[in-house]
Amino acid sequence: MTLYAESSAVVAWLLDEPNGRAVRDRLGKAEIVIASDLTLIECDRVVIRATMVDGLTEADAADRRARLNAAAAHWNVLRISGEIVERARQPFPGDPIRSLDAIHLASALVARSAAPGLELLTLDDRVRAAAKRLGFSLQPQ
């Protein structure tokens, strides 16, 4: 299985949220994981916010960053290229789509052109709905 790892799913795994175990299982079973620079940025920002606002200790934050970095070292990380920006600026099924979601969807479309059968790993209902209309198989199911 080849997965595009969208931020909502990775955050759930990283912060041990209720669906985090299912995400971890999918990531562990995937032969190839593709993520966007945006996934890493959003995950880092969530850890920073959890430290500043939600009381996550610095030690726990460091552990979560290390876990993310260790996993991402095995992922194919897509840069936010001009091609992705141009696609994100275009309409998506189910619009209106938020800007960052459009970048994820555009990234997944670009990734799918290189990895047929790419499945989208996301927990975000809006991203799931748009991705389904774009013909993606979704994880978790």
Per-residue pLDDT tens digits for 94-116: 899 999 999 999 999 999 999 99
Instruction: With both helix axes pointing from N to C terminus, report the angle between 58-72 and 37-52 in degrees, rounded to the nearest 10.
Output: 170
Q: Domain 2-139 is in which class?
A: alpha beta
Percentage of the chain beyond pLDDT 90 is: 95
CB under 8 Å, gap of 24 or more: what pairs does 48-53 form? Answer: 50/15
Question: pLDDT-derived band of residue 15, with 50, 70 and 90 as boundaries?
Answer: very high
